[in-house]
Structure 1
Amino acid sequence: MEAQQFLAEFGHIANAPSGIDRLRDMVLDLAVQGRLALSSESKESTLGLLDEIGRWRASQTQSKKGRRAKFEVPISDLDKPFSIPEHWVWVRNSDIFSLTKGKNPKDLGPEGKYPYLDIEALDRGNIQRYTNDEQAPRSSKADILVVCDGSRSGLVLDGNDGVIGSTLARVDTLPTIQHFVKLLFLHGYRRFNAEKKGAAIPHLDTARLLARPCGLPPISDQESIVAKVDELMALCDKLESQQQARRKLQNALRKSTLQAVASSQRPHELQTTWARLADNFGQLFHAPEDVVAFKGLILDLAVSGELLNTEHRHTASGADLLRAIAKKRIEWSIESEGQEQKEALAMLKKLRSQQMTIPDAVLPEHWAWASLLQVSQAVVDCHNKTAPYVSEGIHLIRTTDIRNGRMDLSRTRKISEETYAYWARRMPPKSGDIFFTREAPMGEAAIVPDGEKVCLGQRSMLIRLFPDLFSNRFLLYVIQSRSFQTRMIEAAIGMTVKHLRVGGVEDLVVPVPPMAEQDQIVAIVDALFRMCEHYEDQLSRKRRIATNFAASAVSSLTGIAIEEEEEPMKAPQTQLIAPLSLGTAPDIKAQAPLATILARHNGEMDAKDLWQRFGGEIDTFYAQLKTEVARGWILEPTPAEMREKPADTVNV
């Protein structure tokens, strides 16, 4: 590699998104190719080292416990991912190291002879469990450990004195080449995604790992390479620290500028601070996610009346609007029939006994505070059961289909007309209604699109307004605002998975400006959001170009093509047929969210339903399930069938 070429590309790589990680990848790529060290060693010295490794491994009786798969197939030119120096030797990983897999030892508890090592214990440096199991594989501080199971499989960790758990494996190799072998593992973890496989819980593909070819250098080259890698990685750490400091200063500048906008007391002050913000947008916003905070500020200004000139005399007020809504609701209860009349009368009954807590936030004097129940025609809960799905039919809107104020109809489950008639019997949704999620996740909302027939899914509620009296777009912006979300979180219940009761949703308070001002605010926010989206798109495009350029530069410098990143982990295409049952009730202070959910549902649930109520990523769910089963809070599932699910019915 030419130094001039590296220096010419360095700035582009370092300043790109994840640029420091690209540099670290490049350092490791160059290291394993022998391009960080030059020596006059002969090939005979490397072959002598390989013989020494073989003799050492043959003398280790404990190495029989490790995975020592020997691959007799010669390494062809097609197997070699890059070129290496002439005095290096191509070997397979299995020629220079083996893996000793850990296991779950007996008698885990607070007392014991040997510390129990798992990922958490090594990460936090706080060992809490011990064992007296003499047969379990052990580790020392001089060892290299590698994570074998879970989302972090392939991660390299420094060893510690103790017994290694089932998610870890000890790397057994000749001590004099241990540092270079660790470098090989670091390279594999960063560049080749740790050779993972597995749909639900990824794990290290040890057979593929041991079969992978690598270049073996002589000891002198290894020492030189390891020292150079340490030096360059330290420089990467320093550069990353400097970038974080610069980012921190930029965040502080953006925060102070946004606060100046938010604290403007007069229209001319708002105009001045806003112009300053617009003029310096490029310096204040570094990445698309930075614009999210700005949108939050816009919404908070909007729902507090700060985006309008409200100093003139007003012909209407929020109180007038609430009286008009109350009058129309009574008319509706008289004129409606059947189920609709039942809902109308139920609304009136709830309103007579509802008690509302007024927030401390100050509104324009002609605005008012009101509950969601007070501003709505009706607030209706869903039918809280899992609907039977069909391949074609009516959209069933689940909580996962509502994100960032939009209803995504591209991946919805479908239900039949018969199911729809029963599930939507209280109040069939119509265009303009708002769907609001009260759990998993909580506080998302979206408006039903025109011309679409949809059904309310579990853990969601329907909010119907009188469209000529209250704007659904304004209410949607209120729900998305940080101030509303803060009040909502304070009203939520639940020790593990936060959620809202039906009554809790009805009691949430919203600001009420006159209808004309609602429309004005919506128009202003729409215009500002269009500007935000323009800048956000520019930043996203700039980031993509920088990322691609950095990847191309690294590829040209190292000769290794950058592999496409895998898609985010999806739910497994299988279904656990056995139910999960509550075991020993955990202590109230224990971190046992799954057992807590089971306890609320009579101690038994299907795995799919438990995951949905847990609300986390699938790999996080399975990791938590494994922990709670190990501690006895959930009973070990009986032998269960893992049945492949048809493509149109995959849910978990």
Structure 2
Amino acid sequence: MSAVMEVSEPSADSLNDLQPPLVQHFELMATAPGGVTRLRELILTLAVQGKLVPQDPTDELASELLRKIRTEKSLSIGGGKNKRGDSPAAILEEDFPYTLPMTWEWIRNQDLFSLRKGKNPKALSETPIGKPYLDIEALDRHQVRRYSEDATALTCSADDILVVCDGSRSGLILQGKDGIVGSTLAVIECSKLVQPYLRLIFREGFQRYNSGMKGAAIPHLDTKTVLTEVIGLPPLAEQTRIVTRVEELMSLCDALEAQGQLEATQHAQLVQTLLGALTASASPDELADNWQRVATHFDLLLDRPEAIDALEQTILQLAVRGLLSPPLPEDQQVVVGSREDSPVPLPAAWSYVRLGGVLADLRYGTAVKCAYDMVGHPVLRIPNLKNGSIDATDLKFGQLGTDDLAKLALKRGDVLIVRSNGSASLVGSMAVVGPESEGFAFAGYLVRARLNPALLTPEYLNLAAKTAAFREQIEGPIRTTSGVKNINSSEISRLSFALPPLGQQQHIVARVDSLRRLCADLRQRLTARQTTQAHLAEALIDEVA
């Protein structure tokens, strides 16, 4: 048995009675993207279709159980405990959603149970006088907040089960307690014999029951649809076996999920440790040695997207410390900034600068209203900044005066910076203006940085802006106004980073671009592998179901 199956050996052994594809490929299905969730769904589907446990021909037939339930219901109505509901509609062969075992019986849910909806009682109070008012919080979190002495209100006991009828958790089953039934809940009135199996029915149907909508797209339990739904009823003895098996397999899924979370945590620690060894390198030679050690673990390290993201961030950090590109003979000392201000050691000719010290101009964009009607001048907006460059396919136009246009016209090599956005992760993101956007204006949520070309290339600034250290400087001073995150020109000017000689900037950018292409290729291969695994798992689940 596989390591995954050995998570919970007694539960894993119970899989031997299931159909062979599920047993043989359980690990594949469990480790596929979303695999444990799909396994839970599969287990419940098999359970309610009679495919989870073998039938026992000596079991009393489900038809006899149904007769007893109807007799019990008739006695309850005759005794005044319950009201007589509508008679279930006849079940035709075309209503059968799947094939049932011979010992089972087709029924509608209303043959098995009825629902009694709660209401808001009179004189609700936080004073603990009278009976507890039972809402979701009282039953699910055991936090009773209100009480009532309304003697006419619907009540329940600890022996009852209830279902949520309104809100995001509609369809959820909750165990009752002594108190008044809240307005978002309903008591499931049924024979105590079938209560455990009823829980399983609602659990299997949760997604269907939760998909009903009411009002402004609020989830709502459509009780008529639920009660008239056609289901299979197993013999009572088989119900017990099914519920027991489901509990065992769900425990196994819990263990698999916990193991997956543990593995994810351990993997994250491994990534942090190994990549941390790279960033701790003090020289290119030390980096080369550390890289060789890390490379031996790449098969374990780069098996998930977040690990590749971490590798890419490590590459950026190494690049802006001068560890990916050797010094050039023609390098000259950077004459601005101060090496002493750098938080990490820098190569000999480098300096540590503020962005404002290497700019020729920093300017806000226009507030002129723009439209798609192609009247006026093209104006770049935040949607035009994509992946560090300009995308002019979604272009608006504004009517700018001659003076404004002279000030706002973009030049090749300008860098546009997002200064205001609802998402903090987008604030401070940059894009380099290319020849296709020369002469365009830019909108007010953007800032144009015009660089001193003798000191800084736009490509290197765009690279440095993606490092974690640079992002921390951007997101630290961000202010929120009416839900919008902002950073101003003064804060942009104070952004600091390591600056290499001009010639080396070009070598660094080329090296990083090459390594990032490798990362993109790794992501693509990983996605393809995960997609294939997911398709295989889905095919196996379909085969078993």
Give the TM-score range, shorter chain.
Answer: 0.7 to 0.9
Is 1:31 paired with 2:47? yes
- Displacement of 1:527 after TM fit? 1.2
Q: Does 1:549 align with 2:533?
A: no
Distance change (3 Å), C-alpha of 1:538 and 1:47: same
The answer to whether structure 1 residue 367 and structure 2 residue 353 are counterparts is: no
Partners of 1:442 and 1:368 lie apart in 2 by 29
* Match status 1:243 vs 2:263: no
Task: Write the letter of the residue equivalent to 1:233.
Answer: M
Matched, 1:380 2:327: no
Paired residue type of 1:288 = P
Q: 1:149 touches 1:201 (CA, 8 Å); kept in 2?
A: no
User: Does 2:457 correspond to 1:471?
Assistant: yes
The answer for the alignment partner of 1:270 in structure 2 is 287
- TM-score, normalisation: structure 2: 0.79
C-alpha distance in 2 between matches for 1:112 and 1:269:
70
Equivalent runs, 1:393-542 vs 2, <5 Å? 405=388, 415-418=396-399, 427-429=408-410, 432=413, 433-444=415-426, 445-447=429-431, 450=434, 451=436, 456=442, 459-466=445-452, 469-494=455-480, 499-502=485-488, 503-542=490-529
Match of 2:66 among 47, 54, 71: 47
Structure 1 residue 285: deviation in Å? Answer: 2.1
Partner Cα distance (2:117, 2:373) in 1: 44
Partner of 2:335: 319
Separation in 2, partners of 1:161, 1:400: 56
CA distance in structure 2 between the aligned counterparts of 1:260 and 1:283, rounded to whole angstroms: 16
Aligned-pair RMSD on alpha carbons?
4.2
Q: Match of 2:8?
A: none
Aligned to 1:195, the other structure's residue is in SS state coil
| SS of aligned partner of 2:408 | coil
Query: Do the aligned partners of 1:109 and 1:130 also contact (CA within 8 Å) in 2?
Result: yes
Shift of 1:549: 0.8
Structure-2 separation of matches of 1:542 and 1:193: 34
* Structure 1: distance between partners of 2:155 and 2:390: 53
Q: Structure 1 residues 285, 370: closer, same or farther in 2, change over 3 A?
A: same
The residue that corresponds to 2:91 in the other structure is 75
Does the residue aligned with 2:314 lie in a helix, a strand or coil? helix
With over 3 angstroms needed to count, the CA separation of the structure-2 counterparts of 1:264 and 1:97, relative to structure 1, is same
Residue 222 of structure 1 corresponds to: 239
Which position in structure 2 is the counterpart of 1:328? none
2:498 & 2:74 partners in 1: Cα distance?
79
Comparing 130-139 and 293-302, the one that deviates more: 130-139
The one-letter code of the counterpart of 1:491 is: P
Change (3 A) 1:106 1:279: farther
Q: How does 1:55-204 map to 2 (within 5 A)?
A: 55=74, 58=77, 73-101=89-117, 111-113=127-129, 125=141, 127=143, 129-132=145-148, 134=150, 141-149=158-166, 151-159=168-176, 168-189=185-206, 192=208, 194-197=210-213, 201-204=217-220
Could you tell me how far 1:539 is from its partner in structure 2? 0.9
Kindly indicate whether the alpha-carbon contact (under 8 Å) linking 2:430 and 2:465 is maintained by their aligned counterparts in 1: no
Which aligned pairs between 1:317-356 and structure 2 lie closer than 5 A?
A: 317-320=333-336
- Over residues 76-128 of structure 1, what are the superposed CA-to-partner deviations in whole Å (9 max), with x where a residue is unaligned? 334332112223222233443344556677877764546666656666x3637
Distance in structure 1 (CA, Å) of the matches to 2:106 and 2:242: 17
**Count of aligned positions:** 515
Percentage identity across paired residues of the two chains: 29
User: Deviation per CA, 1:402-436, whole angstroms, max 9, x where unpaired?
Assistant: 676566777x5x64444899998962456653232
Residues 583-598 of structure 1 aligned to structure 2 (within 5 Å): none
User: Using the alignment, how far apart are the partners of 1:58 and 1:204 within structure 2?
Assistant: 28
Q: CA separation in 2, counterparts of 1:424 and 1:106?
A: 68
For the 8 Å contact 1:439–1:460, the answer to whether it is kept is no
Output one character per residue of 1:120-157: Cα deviation in whole Å (capped at 9) or x when no partner. 6666x363742547477666555445455555544444
Q: Structure 1 stretches of 5 or more lacking a match?
A: 324-356, 559-652
Question: Shift of the alpha carbon at 1:159?
Answer: 4.6
CA distance in 1, matches of 2:315, 2:331: 26
Q: Distance in 2 between matches of 1:282 and 1:130?
A: 57
Letter in structure 2 aligned against 1:212: E
Q: Compared with structure 1, are the counterparts of its residues 372 and 42 closer, same or farther at alpha carbon in structure 2 (3 Å cutoff)?
A: same
Pair 1:363–1:216, CA change in 2 (3 A)? same
Alignment match, 1:595: none
Q: Tell me, what secondary structure is at the counterpart of 2:465?
A: helix
Q: Conserved in 2, the CA contact under 8 Å of 1:443 and 1:488? A: no
- Distance in 2 (CA, whole Å) between partners of 1:438 and 1:259 is 33
Please say if residues 138 and 164 of structure 1, whose CA atoms lie closer than 8 Å, have aligned partners that are also in contact: yes
Go from structure 1 to structure 2 and tell me whether the alpha carbon gap of 1:549 and 1:365 turns closer, same or farther (over 3 Å shift): same
Counterpart position of 2:3: none
Indicate conservation of the 8 Å contact 2:166/2:221, yes or no: no
Farther-moved stretch of structure 1 (141-150 vs 246-255)? 141-150
1:398 & 1:490 partners in 2: Cα distance?
24
Matched, 1:12 2:28: yes
State the SS of the aligned residue for 1:85: coil
- Mapped to 1, the partners of 2:173 and 2:139 lie a distance apart of 11
Equivalent positions of 1:596-635 (< 5 A) are: none
Deviates more, 1:266-275 or 1:491-500: 491-500
The reply to whether residue 290 of structure 1 matches residue 276 of structure 2 is no
Distance 1:510-1:42 versus aligned 2 partners, 3 A rule: same
The separation in 1 between residues aligned to 2:121 and 2:458, in whole angstroms, is 59
Q: Does structure 2 conserve the Cα–Cα contact (< 8 Å) formed by 1:92 and 1:211?
A: yes
User: Alignment partner of 2:52: what SS?
Assistant: coil
Closer/same/farther in 2, CA of residues 188 and 43 from structure 1, 3 Å limit: closer
Deviates more, 1:246-255 or 1:192-201: 192-201
Q: Residue 42 of structure 1 contacts residue 87 of structure 1 at CA under 8 Å; is this kept in 2?
A: yes
Which deviations, in whole Å up to 9, do the C-alpha atoms of 1:188-215 show, x marking residues without a partner? 225x483344796441351443443211
Cα drift, residue 32 of structure 1: 0.3
8 Å contact 2:363–2:448 — kept in the other structure?
yes
Conserved 8 A contact 1:36-1:225 = yes
CA distance in 1, matches of 2:397, 2:454: 33
Q: Contact between 1:368 and 1:512, CA under 8 Å: does it hold in 2?
A: yes
Change in CA separation of 1:98 and 1:44 when aligned onto 2, cut-off 3 Å: closer
With 204-213 and 396-405 compared, the bigger mean Cα shift is at 396-405
Q: Which has the higher contact order (CA 8 A, sep 6+)?
A: 2
Aligned to 1:281: 298
SS at match of 2:479: coil
Structure 1 distance, partners of 2:385, 2:126, is: 45
1:643 alignment partner in structure 2:
none
1:254 is aligned to 2:267: no
Contact between 1:377 and 1:465, CA under 8 Å: does it hold in 2? yes
| Residue identity matched to 1:27 | I
CA deviations on 1:159-212 (whole Å, 9 max, x unpaired) are: 55666666555544333322212111211225x483344796441351443443
State the shift of 1:269 in Å.
2.3
Change (3 A) 1:537 1:96: same
Any gaps of 5 or more consecutive residues in structure 2? 1-16
C-alpha displacement of 1:536: 1.0
Q: Measure the CA separation in 2 of the matches of 1:214 and 1:254.
A: 49
Alpha-carbon offset, residue 230 of structure 1: 0.6
